[in-house]
Structure 1
């Protein structure tokens, strides 16, 4: 949540190499936040002494009745008090601390002896409004604003936090099934004559297959769609597979398009895939866990996410590209009413105020939208980072990361000992390549794989940690840059690869 050293708190993007000391900045911020948190906890300790009297301490300075435990307001009023805004430009350290103080003031102090409401202690879970008023409103506001970046601008658009991109993808499968085939919510799939099938790219994330296993479809229900030379799903092949499934008496219902694959960083052609889904009545989910945050940068969004507004749901994980602390992931939906209808269950011991109203704008017990119940306030991480950096700060971070990836690609292309797998312009922030002495790979994939693995181990000893992935000619390197990768870091990595590669090849020949 850097302010880039701006005196007035406004973000002015600087070259990454010119950024101030991150350690000093974090130390200063943590010290300031600690000075807010300790009095919050101490107040609960002091209040404990009054509890035997039957009444907790009241807090002065508020226009409303307030105890150490909580200052309670209905949702609409508290929303007005909090005045939640996600700015174009960051608010700086003081603005950030002011918001943190406000969040503490209007949160339930679960350290208080009087907190005897739920099955936990000394934490702030986000499942019902009564015990997490401020964090509930922050999650609703943040996810609604995030959804607009993907073209979900309707009155019921929004999202819900999830414990990672895999969970976001898995939840989307349940929502799709229960929405398109409502009887499965109560009857399940085993008594159904239907044989449900799902579709995802051959380069898609394994979480879709895991979801199929968990929800009773089985791995065989997941059909992998061939990709083109750039690793993007082939829409014509998808169409053929859907038709073939129908002809075989199966029930296609769900397609996962990937925005930023794990290895190559490829973005599937969402618009063309949406055409297939529309023609066959299929749910379109976009797994943007990795590449989804490019939505903050208008130029990159236009070329990578065209057609995303036609999706039914999108997974996006800010703890990846945006550098928000882990875990921070969301499932966004064009219409949250469908998510609620798919997920809600009667639980009168927990959900007291929402009745049968399906207007998700007035839904404040957010556990009704998710398989989880008590949840950490993950949305607060994105909210504070967005508040600090602003939309413009995120856009600049993404642009800087893409520029560094292209620089790394160019430096590797200039080396006589590298064969590139990734092609420029890069789809995302991964650069994939083989170490190839004097430009030549071994005809034996096992030799290339062994060389890559040995080099990766030796690079760790030099202070470099990079990954590798399997390819037709053996395992190749996959290097991922980020918004804070410096130019000197890129130069040093290429030098280290060349030096370590020479060592390994020399030992092979000895």
Structure 2
């Protein structure tokens, strides 16, 4: 009994046909915007029929029923949310990763060395010191849990792993625009989402005076402040905190500084003036970021860096006897990555990053990031040049948030912008998401696609204008 192909040659032919279908779609990304999935296709996904058909028919079904029905984020006019867009190197590396089927929890094998190389490279990009540690994760949400668990360990000491936090009342601080992952992390760690203080922001990020006052007020009330969370690109408006100011305050107050850099951290690879947005990020105690957003690699692929390796390891290391390391053989390879996070079984995420760096190099990737920022600036200029559109906030990096018709009241603007987003998604012309700032729900473009060109921005804003005028 085996689950390997009964006919290897037939499997090879079917796999080649499927690869060709993938390559065809990859090369024609402009022809594949998001479209609703037909009900007949949805019904075909059910697992109460059509099972056990073998690899050849599976290949046909994957090409015909699965491949065409993604989110459309590979399309150059997909600006919704902050979605990554994929690379040719990712297609190749995922093929190899699936064939290897390596478990990156630990042990001594090549994939572990590749992950270490990727973390070393990222450490140098972000200016973290030698001896700092890191681990590849699903994304910034998981990375934030890991980072704040380390911060809790520093605040409470190692006994908190066995005994919990007892009566300690821990509080954390972030700008009001911080990603919801920070609140979720506090909830998952048992600290309570209400203990994340939302500090007012200015155009330059979190208000440092307000932050200082919030920390003092909590201490006076008997709380134990333990962490500040900075944002490298807020999800609503793309704001960047002043990391030098946050680091100064964290050092003065004895708090952990974590930076949510899900997409914006990668401005470290961009040209001027955008690189300067992340000055000071090297002073953080921890950093969370995603390769699957603004480094374009396939989902899922994130990373957490922690300045103090000993604190990182002490927070998570727990090796039962059956996982004991050995001096030689496959059980060697210390340290194991399972000692730095929540996962024992881990996929080969780092290979996607390694492949992208080998294929394109950081300069070419950085140029794509720079161009995305330039396209966002172009969109902002087009909005400002339209007699009826208006920016809701200045364009800082790759996000542009605007309203299609500022002549309307806030209710009218919100309704119009929501309708335009839906209409353009359904037509396939462009994908904007929406975000509510104050009383207005605006259109939001997050440009994280290396395929996006100036003509795509022109066409998208023209489509918004047509949809507005057609109401």
TM interval, shorter chain, is: 0.7 to 0.9
Q: CA–CA distance in 1 between the matches of 2:151 and 2:272?
A: 31
Q: 2:446 aligns with which of 480, 485, 510?
A: 480
Q: Does 1:211 align with 2:192?
A: no
SS of the aligned residue for 2:440 comes to coil
How far the C-alpha of 1:198 sits from its partner, in A, is 0.9
Q: Residue 501 of structure 1 aligns with which residue?
A: 468
Q: 1:177 aligns with which of 149, 152, 156?
A: 152
Residue pair 1:315, 1:331 contacting (<8 A) in 2 also: yes
Residue pair 1:317, 1:329 contacting (<8 A) in 2 also: yes
Residue pair 1:288, 1:314 contacting (<8 A) in 2 also: yes
Residue pair 2:325, 2:334 contacting (<8 A) in 1 also: no
How well do the aligned residues superpose, as a CA RMSD in angstroms?
A: 2.8
How far the C-alpha of 1:422 sits from its partner, in A, is 2.6
Q: 2:312 aligns with which of 339, 355, 370?
A: 339
Q: Residue 120 of structure 2 aligns with which residue?
A: 144
Question: CA offsets, 1:347-387, max 9 Å, x none?
Answer: 221232389xxxxxx73311111111101111111110111
Q: 2:277 aligns with which of 295, 304, 308?
A: 304
Q: Does 1:458 align with 2:423?
A: yes
Return 5+ residue gaps in structure 1 as ranges.
1-21, 29-92, 111-122, 356-361, 505-510
Q: Residue 363 of structure 2 aligns with which residue?
A: 392
How far the C-alpha of 1:180 sits from its partner, in A, is 2.9
Residue pair 1:152, 1:158 contacting (<8 A) in 2 also: no
When normalised by structure 2's length, the TM-score is 0.77
Q: Residue 49 of structure 2 aligns with which residue?
A: none
Q: 2:162 aligns with which of 180, 186, 192?
A: 186
Q: CA–CA distance in 2 between the matches of 1:447 and 1:100?
A: 48
Q: Does 1:126 align with 2:104?
A: yes
How far the C-alpha of 1:258 sits from its partner, in A, is 0.4
SS of the aligned residue for 1:470 comes to strand
Alignment of 1:4-43 (within 5 A): none
Q: Which has the higher contact order (CA 8 A, sep 6+)?
A: 2
> Are residues 457 and 369 of structure 1, via their aligned partners in 2, closer, same or farther at CA, if it must alter by over 3 Å?
same
SS of the aligned residue for 1:475 comes to strand
> Are residues 452 and 279 of structure 1, via their aligned partners in 2, closer, same or farther at CA, if it must alter by over 3 Å?
same
Q: CA–CA distance in 2 between the matches of 1:252 and 1:450?
A: 41
How far the C-alpha of 1:109 sits from its partner, in A, is 7.7
Q: 1:432 aligns with which of 361, 376, 401?
A: 401
Alignment of 1:91-170 (within 5 A): 123-130=101-108, 133-154=109-130, 156-170=131-145
Q: CA–CA distance in 2 between the matches of 1:503 and 1:496?
A: 10
Q: 2:194 aligns with which of 197, 220, 237?
A: 220
> Are residues 404 and 370 of structure 1, via their aligned partners in 2, closer, same or farther at CA, if it must alter by over 3 Å?
same
> Are residues 350 and 27 of structure 1, via their aligned partners in 2, closer, same or farther at CA, if it must alter by over 3 Å?
farther
Residue pair 2:288, 2:305 contacting (<8 A) in 1 also: yes
Q: Does 1:380 align with 2:380?
A: no
Residue pair 1:412, 1:420 contacting (<8 A) in 2 also: yes
Q: Does 1:322 align with 2:295?
A: yes
Question: CA offsets, 1:473-493, max 9 Å, x none?
Answer: 320000122332111111111
Q: 1:406 aligns with which of 370, 377, 384?
A: 377
Residue pair 1:136, 1:364 contacting (<8 A) in 2 also: no
SS of the aligned residue for 1:286 comes to strand
Q: Residue 417 of structure 1 aligns with which residue?
A: 388
Q: Does 1:264 align with 2:210?
A: no
Q: CA–CA distance in 1 between the matches of 2:335 and 2:156?
A: 26
How far the C-alpha of 1:411 sits from its partner, in A, is 1.1
Q: 1:369 aligns with which of 340, 348, 353?
A: 340
> Are residues 376 and 446 of structure 1, via their aligned partners in 2, closer, same or farther at CA, if it must alter by over 3 Å?
same
Residue pair 2:269, 2:275 contacting (<8 A) in 1 also: no
Question: CA offsets, 1:45-102, max 9 Å, x none?
Answer: xxxxxxxxxxxxxxxxxxxxxxxxxxxxxxxxxxxxxxxxxxxxxxxx9xx89x979x
Q: CA–CA distance in 2 between the matches of 1:240 and 1:263?
A: 25
Q: CA–CA distance in 2 between the matches of 1:203 and 1:353?
A: 47
Q: CA–CA distance in 2 between the matches of 1:435 and 1:100?
A: 41
Residue pair 1:128, 1:351 contacting (<8 A) in 2 also: no
Return 5+ residue gaps in structure 2 as ranges.
1-21, 29-87
Aligned residues: 385
> Are residues 262 and 354 of structure 1, via their aligned partners in 2, closer, same or farther at CA, if it must alter by over 3 Å?
farther
> Are residues 500 and 100 of structure 1, via their aligned partners in 2, closer, same or farther at CA, if it must alter by over 3 Å?
closer
Q: Does 1:447 align with 2:416?
A: no
How far the C-alpha of 1:448 sits from its partner, in A, is 2.0
How far the C-alpha of 1:276 sits from its partner, in A, is 0.9
> Are residues 454 and 231 of structure 1, via their aligned partners in 2, closer, same or farther at CA, if it must alter by over 3 Å?
farther
Q: Residue 70 of structure 1 aligns with which residue?
A: none
